Structure 1
Amino acid sequence: MVQVSLLLLVVVLAKSTLAVYPLVDLGYSKYLGTAQTNGVTSWWGMRFAAPPLGNLRFRAPEDPVYNGTVQTANTHGPLCLATGGLPNDTTTSEDCLFLDVYAPSNATVKSKLPVFLWIQGGGFNANSNANYRGDGMILASGMDIVVVNFNYRVSLYGFLASEEVVANGNTNVGLLDQRFAVEWFGGDPGHVTIGGCSAGGASITFQLTAYGGRNDGLFHAAAAESASVFTILTVAQSQYQYDALVARIGCSNATDSLACLRAVPATTLQANNYYIPYPGLGPNASSPLFMYDAVIDGDFIQDFSQRQFAEGKFVQVPVIYGDDTNGGTDFAPKNTTDYAQMDQFLIDNYPTMTPDQITAFNYMYPEDMEFFNGTGAFWRTTSNAYGELAYLCPGMFVSTSYAAYSTFGSWNYRYNVEDPTQMAEGYGVPHTVETAAIWGPAYVSGTPPASYWPNGTNADIVPVLQGYWTSFIRSYSPNTFRYPGSPVWQEWVPSMQNRLMIMTNATAMETVDINEQARCAYITANSVSWLQ
């Protein structure tokens, strides 16, 4: 496998001073980056793997092919094809394995800068946090880190699983893409932090437990923001997805249905790439929020991650896990009006939940009487249940497992920064909103909260978050280089249930509410049964 060191990216003589030079030779390709006026040099859209086309569809990534021409690296690579994406969307492509690198322009051959390699989210069905720029974090670090982000295959291209794929392909290839990107980039090979949000946070979990928790020395710390936990199936349980796709494409009568799937153009796959409900749920079932997901294949994923954490089968490195106060509001149906509709939503996404477990959820999550712009009476109730089930409680469980088994630091947080617009619309502090503060509002895609920009009511939280995160990347502790005046972030102690509550001008350690502790205890105790 090709492995690229940061040294290859920075060693050039410029005015008798060793520093970053925009033209880099990676051995297989030469890329011309951009030296920006803010002191950061960037390279956009560099290939880190071969185009996963034709016979490489549904297979592990391979080394990039040789290209002798100098390529201008000032355009982001296309995003990977998403579930439900339009066949003619020119912003996406099956040929999507590209990454971006950001480095201080004054870095030298001796710098050996810490590397932050970030994994975007999207529920494993889309690249939803693409093209975030590392400038803001590098500036906040005092020009002391390198930032890398990248695309990885999602949807059926990254997570199709069946006996046919096992026999003549690879499962979990989206996760293999991620690992390939980590292997590709060296920087200081002894100082790499992986991070990610949502499914990117879940990816951190899967990378920590990969191959039964085998430590290949690829990374040395991990920060998971709003890490998701969805239903995870075995290969056999995933067969229905493959069979349904084969039928839609018209490959059912082919001698080799997988070869048939590899032969059809991506536009044909995309025209037939949509969500379907889990089997056996009856006529009222709807499709899950995220159908394609990582699968237990006995290789990369050998068991439920919750069980592996409970048994200490994970890579021991310093970790940050945490979530937002209202992590479920982006996902619960706004028109949910009663417990019956809430229960159906939970079953649609966690189909093995038992009637007793559903009854317990109805008891644990009473009706939330807040109404917003005509939303149903149970929107916030359902949001509360889903947010804790899918995000908040699993993160605290990981923190507890690290505290129990690991000699490295483990930190947990609750992000509670209230944007006036999001609060007025009922979203509260929604899923992954903390990324806008960690990266800086000018450097994320989409529309970050207006209050995060300079002179906004939450502008002061940006340097605080960037201080904690860049300190963790640089020193494996969020406290070493934290922003002046911000509180010490204490390590998670299970008996104390202590986490950092992050709020503009009010960030402080807190003890998890006793009722939340009880709900999370129930969710943790039952999670393996309803995730399979």
Structure 2
Amino acid sequence: MLCRILFAVAISLQRVEAVDPLVDVSYTRYQGTSLLNGITQWLGIRYAASPVGALRFQAPQDPPSDSSIQLANEHGLLCLATGASPMDNTTSEDCLFLDVYAPTNATSKSKLPVYFFIQGGAFNANSNANYNGSGLIKASGMNIVVVNFNYRVGPYGFLASKEVLAGGSVNNGLKDQRKALEWMQKYISRFGGDPQHVTMGGDSAGAASIALHLTAYGGRDDGLFHATAAESQSFASMLNVEESQYQYNNLVIRTGCIDEEDTLACLRSLNVTFLQKNNFNTPSPGAQVAPIAMYNPVIDNDLIQDYTYRAFEQGKFLHLPAIFGDDTNEGTIFTPKNTSTIGQSDTFLQSQFPALTFEHLRTINSLYPVAEQYPNSGKFWRQVSNAYGEQRYICPGIFISNAHARDSVSCNWNYHWNVIDPVSAAAGYGVSHTVETSAIWGPENVNGGAPASYSTTNSATVPVAQAYWTSFIRSFNPNTHRLPGTPEWGAWTLDGYQRLLFQTNATAMETVPDDQKKRCAYLSSIGVAIKQ
């Protein structure tokens, strides 16, 4: 019933005459660009104050007022990434900017549904930056507004310790995201959007962020979004502030701030180039090598009050229309291709999840035997890829869909992306992590990141995916505006375990195989124990 009611609201929206691309956002005015495709874009809108100097390691603040007109014709610089060169001129500590795309004929009375996209990057990079929203808007029939943005990552966004908690703020990357949501609630109507009809989308760390916002403040509803569409949701190992102290201590030692009485003030005073030179991952306590991503959101007993698995298990999340889903081979791009022994496999897994016990690893090894073999790779590469892909991505998605179904959220869908790219398949990477973003946004809109086949042999999948996604954005139901001839995307149920299988010219509903259900049941059962 909820899905149908929301649809009724969505289709009642009316268009009025176009508005000037010069938009007043109270603290300044932004001059957008009207494109020949019927879409106006505003690039590089500052949604929060520059987080530098005294605002380093602080929660985001309101942007300053400026009476002059700002040309919104260039993307803002990306946020500094862990392990990246301090000389990268595409990044900056001053990075809290967003982009808005809207139909040119939209006005403040249009009340168009909004797609708010959180990019991924393992909370240590902005890895899906500056995607062009034009493709989604055209696929929607010019019926939505699209927003994407940057947020702080690595230590700039997720440094945590007793010092940061006392003299600054933790989980600032997530707070940046909420700041952008709050900005949207205030101003998106001036671009033609409806602040009461917001779908929060995201991939990887962006999809992990969706899960964290659903459970934020114990599941408190601040009215910032109204539906979620998560691609390859990621459950990393999540520490509390005390357990994260080693990260702060290591950074203080590396930067020479150890001799200062106020080490946090010292870190704030450092030249950002020098600080960035010392921004790299180190092994977690109890692990042998550094994890893929060391800085992550932390349990602060405020914004994040518990492990994500337990929050969903206890029903402490917003019960909103939702899509969750994954790719067939989620782990291949992360795991060392030269993994040749079970010892190397277990070392990798334990470095990502240091709380894994001997018993856990023995069981995982039995559930994931040696798998397919590929040239120029170790015997256990696909074995560890399969284990990691399900542990971090696929099984959490199934668990969340189950939690929604258990709590009678009927507007609840899950998918399995299995569009085969021949180049990726031949290299052994298969259908890799978040590759579906190339279809959802359109291969021409993701800054060269799309497989070539998405413009040739797999091109037929693009309009199919875009129609389901824009239908969900418009009506909170992926079926309302799906392409004629495509299958109805059945809702996920506890007794059915059915999801939509995306394949070129063969998209159809499927049931989760029994062996995957068995593996996921075990991995989810140890999720809290390994701090997911």
Asked if Structure 1 and Structure 2 have the same fold, meaning a TM-score greater than 0.5 normalized by the shorter chain, the answer is: yes
What is the alpha-carbon distance in structure 2 between the residues aligned to residue 114 and residue 394 of structure 1? 28
State, as a whole percentage, how many aligned pairs show the same letter: 58
Please state how far the C-alpha of 1:280 moved relative to its aligned partner: 2.9
| Residues 235, 308 of structure 2: 8 Å contact kept | no
Aligned residue for 1:201?
207
What is the alpha-carbon distance in structure 1 between the residues aligned to residue 108 and residue 278 of structure 2? 49
Q: Deviations over 1:458-479 (max 9, x none)?
A: 1000000000100000000000
| Residues 411, 490 of structure 1: 8 Å contact kept | yes
SS of residue paired to 1:190: strand
Structure 1 residue 350 corresponds to structure 2 residue 356: no
What is the alpha-carbon distance in structure 2 between the residues aligned to residue 340 and residue 87 of structure 1? 35
Please state how far the C-alpha of 1:407 moved relative to its aligned partner: 3.3
The 5-angstrom pairing of residues 17-416 of structure 1 reads: 18-186=17-185, 187-281=193-287, 285-372=288-375, 374-416=376-418
One-letter code of the match for 1:333? P
What is the alpha-carbon distance in structure 1 between the residues aligned to residue 55 and residue 17 of structure 2? 40
- State the TM-score, normalizing by the size of structure 2: 0.95
Structure 1 residue 479 corresponds to structure 2 residue 479: yes
SS of residue paired to 1:296: coil
What is the alpha-carbon distance in structure 2 between the residues aligned to residue 290 and residue 31 of structure 1? 36
> Which portions of structure 1, spanning 4 or more consecutive aligned residues, are displaced by more than 2 angstroms?
none
What is the alpha-carbon distance in structure 2 between the residues aligned to residue 236 and residue 406 of structure 1? 37
What is the alpha-carbon distance in structure 2 between the residues aligned to residue 53 and residue 259 of structure 1? 12
Q: Deviations over 1:241-270 (max 9, x none)?
A: 000000111111211111111111111110
One-letter code of the match for 1:365? Y
Q: Deviations over 1:473-519 (max 9, x none)?
A: 00000000011111000010122111111101111110111100000
| Residues 479, 489 of structure 2: 8 Å contact kept | yes
Aligned residue for 1:499?
499
Aligned residue for 1:417?
419
One-letter code of the match for 1:114? P
Aligned residue for 1:4?
none
| Residues 197, 432 of structure 1: 8 Å contact kept | yes
One-letter code of the match for 2:194? D
What is the alpha-carbon distance in structure 1 between the residues aligned to residue 492 and residue 373 of structure 2? 32
What is the alpha-carbon distance in structure 1 between the residues aligned to residue 45 and residue 146 of structure 2? 14
Aligned residue for 1:439?
441
Aligned residue for 2:3?
none
Q: Deviations over 1:25-54 (max 9, x none)?
A: 212122111101111100100100000011
Instruction: Name which of structure 1's ranges 198-207 and 59-68 shifts more when overlaid on structure 2.
Output: 59-68
Please state how far the C-alpha of 1:408 moved relative to its aligned partner: 4.2
Please state how far the C-alpha of 1:85 moved relative to its aligned partner: 1.3
- State the TM-score, normalizing by the size of structure 1: 0.95
What is the alpha-carbon distance in structure 2 between the residues aligned to residue 194 and residue 491 of structure 1? 19
What is the alpha-carbon distance in structure 2 between the residues aligned to residue 172 and residue 86 of structure 1? 24
What is the alpha-carbon distance in structure 2 between the residues aligned to residue 489 and residue 392 of structure 1? 19
One-letter code of the match for 1:505? N
What is the alpha-carbon distance in structure 2 between the residues aligned to residue 405 and residue 500 of structure 1? 21
What is the alpha-carbon distance in structure 1 between the residues aligned to residue 380 and residue 19 of structure 2? 55
Please state how far the C-alpha of 1:406 moved relative to its aligned partner: 4.0
Q: Deviations over 1:396-418 (max 9, x none)?
A: 00000001114341100000000
What is the alpha-carbon distance in structure 2 between the residues aligned to residue 345 and residue 225 of structure 1? 24
| Residues 18, 109 of structure 1: 8 Å contact kept | no
Contiguous gaps of at least 5 residues in structure 1: 1-16
Per the alignment, do residues 21 and 408 of structure 1 end up closer, same or farther by CA in structure 2, a change over 3 Å counting?
farther
Structure 1 vs Structure 2 CA RMSD: 1.0
Aligned residues: 510
